[in-house]
Amino acid sequence: MFKKILIAEDHEVRNLGVVNALTELQIDHFDFVSYCDDALKRIKTAEAEKEPYDLLITDLSFDKDHFQQNLKSGQELIREVKNIDPKLKIIAFSIENKPKVIDDLFKILSIDGFVSKGRHDGKELRNTIKKIFKGEKVIPQEILNSIRNAPLEITENDELLLTLLAKGFTQSEIEDHFKQNNITPNSKSSIEKRLNELREIFNAKNNIELVVICKDLGII
C-alpha cells in the first residue's frame, strides 16, 4: 500500500473524510495543505530529500482568499507536479461533474483516478486508492458513461464558436471575430451551417439549448 500521501484540500470538513479513509487503509504518513502552491513546495522538497510522495489527492477548485497564489486550481497543480515527478500517482477528489473536464484530466493530465465528493465518497476513495495501488485507472461508471455518450466531433474552432455564442455574440459578430483572427472558414453561411450541424450532434432545438447542453458537458 502507499506509504506517503499528500492531500491538497481547502475545506477542513472534507479532510476528516479523507483521514478516515486513509486510517482504514492503515496509511499513517499523510500531509495536508490548503493551497496548491504549498502542495507543489512539499512535493519539490520531498523529491530533493529523496523521500518522495507516493500519491497526491487533490481537489480541483480552491477558494480565493487574501493569500496570493500562483497556482489557482487542481489542474494547474497536477500539470506542475507531472513535470517534477511523472510517476507520482494522482487522484482528483472533486464535486466536478462535467464529462469533458473529467475526461481531460485523464487524457491530457494523465491522472490515475477520479472520486466525486458526495455521500459515499469515503468508501469510493478507499476503493480507488486500492485499485490505483494495483496499477488500475479509476473513472466512476456514471462519468465513464457520460464520456462515452458525449459527441466526439468537436474541434477547437467549434469550442470558440460555442463560447462566443454563449457570450451573446451574433452570427455577424462571430463572423467578424473569425475574420479578424484569421480563423477559417469564416463566412456567415459557413458559421450558420456549422451551428446547424452542432444542433444536430447535440440534439438541440435551438442555439440557446445548444449552449446549455455544451455548458453541462463542460465543452464551454
pLDDT at residue 207 in the model: 92
Q: What is the per-residue pLDDT across 103-162, written as a single tens digit (0 to 9) for each?
A: 889 989 999 999 988 777 888 899 999 999 999 999 877 777 766 666 556 788 998 999
Q: Residue 129 in contact with residue 25, Cβ under 8 Å? A: yes
Domain at 66, CATH number:
3.40.50.2300
Domain that holds residue 44: 4-149
pLDDT at residue 143 in the model: 74
Task: Among 149, 167, 188, give the residue marking a domain's end.
Answer: 149
If asked whether residues 175 and 67 sit together in one domain, one would say no
Look at the pTM and tell me if it is higher than 0.85.
Answer: no
If asked whether residues 195 and 102 sit together in one domain, one would say no
Number of folded domains that form the chain: 2
If asked whether residues 178 and 105 sit together in one domain, one would say no
Q: Residue 49 in contact with residue 73, Cβ under 8 Å? A: no
Mean pLDDT calculated for residue range 193-202:
89
> Residues with Cβ < 8 Å from 61, sequence gap 6 or more?
73, 74, 94, 95, 96
Domain at 207, CATH number:
1.10.10
If asked whether residues 104 and 145 sit together in one domain, one would say yes
If asked whether residues 93 and 163 sit together in one domain, one would say no
If asked whether residues 190 and 145 sit together in one domain, one would say no
Q: What is the per-residue pLDDT across 6-51, written as a single tens digit (0 to 9) for each?
A: 999 877 655 677 888 888 888 888 999 988 999 999 999 999 999 9
pLDDT at residue 220 in the model: 81
Output helix, strand, coil percentages for the chain, rounded to the nearest 5.
Answer: 50, 10, 35
Beta-bridged to residue 5, according to DSSP, are 30, 55
